[in-house]
Amino acid sequence: MGDSKALPIIGGVMLVFFLPLIIVIAMIVGVLSSMDSAAACTPSSGASETSMAWPTDNHTPDQGWDDEGDETHKGVDFVVEKGKNVYAVEAGDVISTEGDWIKISHGEGLETWYRFFDTKAVKKGDAVTRGQVIGTVGEGNEDAPGKSGAHLHFEVWAASDSDGTDLKQTDPATLFSTTDSGGAGGGCGCGGAGGPLVGGTNQEKAFNFLVTNGYSKEQAAGIVGNMIHESSVEPQRLNGTTSGVKTPAATAVNLGNKAWGIVQWYPASKVINAGRSMGATDSQIETLEFQLNFLIHQLDGSGKVALPDVGTAMKATKTVDDAAYVFAAKFEIFTTDPNDPEYGRRQATAREVFKTFGGGAAEPGKPGAGPATACAAGSGNIAAVAISLAWPEEGHGPDKSDATPAYQAALPKYNSDQGDRVWSDCGRFVSTVMHMSGADPDYPEVGTSVQDAYLRSSPKYQVIDDITEDQLLPGDIFIGEGHTYLFVGKYGKYNSVAGSLGGHVPQAGYAYNVGKKYQFAVARLKNQPAPEKKP
């Protein structure tokens, strides 16, 4: 770390006598966010450089700071379902896990405190990265006006003198980004749901988001190709306006005959009113992150204005052209003429998207390279790398030709392709993911019994024999008698990926027989590494 990064921190602490505490914290967090350990996983645009990641997937505090009168609340509360992830808001070192709390020091007199846990994934002395899962939400009761029941209580403390010994609390609410968050699997968010959007442009961010949420590169290119024709992938684009003109949600919602947003929801109130009913603010609804999440939940049938038939049809497509046509015909529905030349224009654009972000040219009518590796080698993100190598659906064979092209390339590079039934070997798949991600270069290459012994003896892992499915975290390794697989969180309609020796190559599936008494214990890496710096 050069002088240009170190000096502003020192200056920030020394100036505490002369500047309001909240400004000093913003200065410190801004410098911390620019450090190498976090920078590789931070969006290149869209998020404030002086903002922390969100500590939960709920980005709207349900109880804010209150220091008026007798009933004070020195922090913010996020009402979140018990068992959901809690994220470190910035890189740092765990200084306490006593009682209900986890406390993290970020250096230079800045600390963040998290309260009420169901499970804790870190211990005192652990180094954590921005967005790393540190535990899961528990239950607790606070004095009014604080919340009771399942929720996370979050506090920020900062040095109020030059030696950092006297810490004072301050309101953290203004330090959160409107677009950045924690991320599943720790380390890099990789464009997944609940994580920061990764990419240099909105087109690339949308593409990466889709492929890390279960869509193949071909399918993602087809959707983004349509978005480009609909809105130039601009979240505040109103139908009939030119690129770059932003129309606020509050204006668009009252225009009954206008479409709005990245896929031009018609009328605009379809997405805006639905978002408001979910508790989202207009400023959140206007973001790319919100609209991408809204779209994928429409397609998987779990969200407002559900369109599961469209999602099923999209997942069945194999080529870029088919994906672009299906999304245009079944979601956008701009014409009833199947020969409308607009289909051809959108397919051509989708092929360019695939060529630009998917790693290779797509010929009309031909499949491309399969699932993407948007967050792959060296990322530290076990779940995202596993998803990038596995098929997003069941029904595949056991041979090399049945595996995704991404896995065909990765296995001999990060493991060994010598032996019997190599491509369907469950242990070899898990090991390849651990090596490729950089999460554990020492992970045994093959043999579930060997891997089981390693996981139970290595200080890198916490092995949980008695665990329930609602306590699982993305990146958890299932290990049992003769089989192993990975929990990845929400992956389309699935939540896990696995190979099966002699049965099938790595593909999506469901967690089953969770808990050692049923079959599978869980091994959880204690400290997933920070993503590898890019040259």
C-alpha span between 86 and 113 (Å, rounded) = 12
C-alpha span between 279 and 341 (Å, rounded) = 40
Predicted pLDDT of residue 106: 82
292 assigned to some structural domain:
yes
β strands within 99-217, DSSP E: 101-105, 110-115, 117-120, 127-128, 133-137, 139-141, 148-150, 152-159, 167-170
Residues 435, 485 share a domain = yes
pTM given for the model: 0.42
- DSSP calls for 438-491: SS-TTS-SS-HHHHHHHHHH-TTEEEESS--GGG--TT-EEEETTEEEEEEEEE
Residue 388 is part of a domain; what is its CATH number?
3.90.1720
CA distances from 117 to 182, 231, 451, 473 (A): 17, 42, 30, 14
3-state secondary structure at position 167: strand
Residue 100 is part of a domain; what is its CATH number?
2.70.70.10
Residues 495, 397 share a domain = yes
- Rounded average pLDDT over 115-129: 90
Predicted pLDDT of residue 392: 81
pLDDT one-digit tens code per residue, 468-525: 777 888 889 988 878 999 998 877 778 899 999 888 999 988 888 887 666 788 888 8
Residues 404, 350 share a domain = no
Residues 430, 496 share a domain = yes
499 assigned to some structural domain:
yes
Predicted pLDDT of residue 491: 73
More confident site: 26 or 4: 26
C-alpha span between 401 and 398 (Å, rounded) = 8
Q: Does the pLDDT at position 98 exceed 70?
A: yes
pLDDT classification of 532: cutoffs 50, 70, 90: very low
Handedness of CA 509, 515, 519, 520 (dihedral sign): positive
Instruction: Name residue, tokens 């169901």.
Output: 118
337 assigned to some structural domain:
yes
Please report, to the nearest 10 degrees, the dihedral formed by the alpha carbons of residues 103, 104, 107, 111 taken in order. -50
369 assigned to some structural domain:
no
Residue 443's CB is within 10 A of a number of other CB atoms, namely: 22
Residues 445, 351 share a domain = no
Residues 297, 213 share a domain = yes
Residues 259, 331 share a domain = yes
Residues 238, 92 share a domain = no
Predicted pLDDT of residue 495: 86
196 assigned to some structural domain:
no
C-alpha span between 270 and 259 (Å, rounded) = 9
pLDDT one-digit tens code per residue, 28-57: 555 444 433 322 222 333 333 345 778 888
Residue 316 is part of a domain; what is its CATH number?
1.10.530.10
Q: Does the pLDDT at position 265 exceed 50?
A: yes
Where among 322, 357, 392 does a domain terminate?
357
For residue 267, say if its preceding peptide bond is cis, omega within 30 degrees of 0: yes
| Two structure tokens written together for 460 | 């890198």
pLDDT one-digit tens code per residue, 392-450: 888 899 998 888 877 888 888 888 888 778 999 999 999 999 888 878 888 998 888 89
Q: Which of 285, 287, 288 is nearest to 270 (CA)?
A: 285
Residues 213, 348 share a domain = yes
C-alpha span between 501 and 422 (Å, rounded) = 8
372 assigned to some structural domain:
no
How many structural domains does the chain have? 3
Residues 472, 395 share a domain = yes
Where among 315, 342, 357 does a domain terminate?
357
Q: Looking at 126-130, 135-139, 278-282, 371-375, which range is the least confident one?
A: 371-375
34 DSSP assignment? T
Estimate to the nearest angstrom the gap between the alpha carbon of 249 and the chain centroid: 25
Q: Give residue 271's domain range.
A: 202-357
